[in-house]
Amino acid sequence: MSTIIFSHGKESGPNGRKIQLMRSIAEDLGYTTHSIDYQASTNAGERAKMLRDFINSKVTDSIILVGSSMGGYVSTVIANEFRLKGLFLLCPALYMKDRGYDIQEYHPLSESIEVIHGWQDDIVPVEHSIRFCRATGASLLLVNDGHRLQDSHDRIRRSFEGFLKGVTT
């Protein structure tokens, strides 16, 4: 079984509602989960280093990265470096160089990639996820919601559970 590592967004924390929801699903399916606490840093590059260091020091089996917003960017950057079983992203902050997200080319080494993004996202343009999914062949679910996806928890639950069941087969 794979290890799942959750990366939260810039203004969230390691035990936010979406992470709790997905962690519960993952653990019910038998996965080991970790949620890194990035709250001490708002720098995306520093957060990527934290995730890289965590993987190098703690993870010995296959990896699934899950990231939301800035955590989606961090997960995708690290997916360029590590072969993953899966990459699951919520409104990932991709293609946002103007906001300090230095890496702009994404070539994830992942067997499976899925993205959920809200049509009304006022922080990360939905077009960025469309561009990423088109370039990588990732699955994309667009929902009638904003950046926090607060009205889409049922959709996230169903999608994440299906994603995990898909990567284990």
Which token pair is 107? 């070539």
Which token pair is 31? 């996965």
Task: For residue 133, report the phi and psi dihedrals to the nearest 5 degrees.
Answer: -65, -40
Tell me the whole-structure pTM to 2 decimals: 0.97
Question: So what's the pLDDT on residue 45?
Answer: 95
Fold exhibited by the domain 3-168: Rossmann fold (3.40.50)
Question: So what's the pLDDT on residue 169?
Answer: 56
Could you say which residues of the chain have pLDDT below 50? none
Which CA distances in Å does 149 have to 27, 93, 127, 161? 22, 14, 16, 17
> Do 145 and 152 contact (CB within 8 A), yes or no?
yes
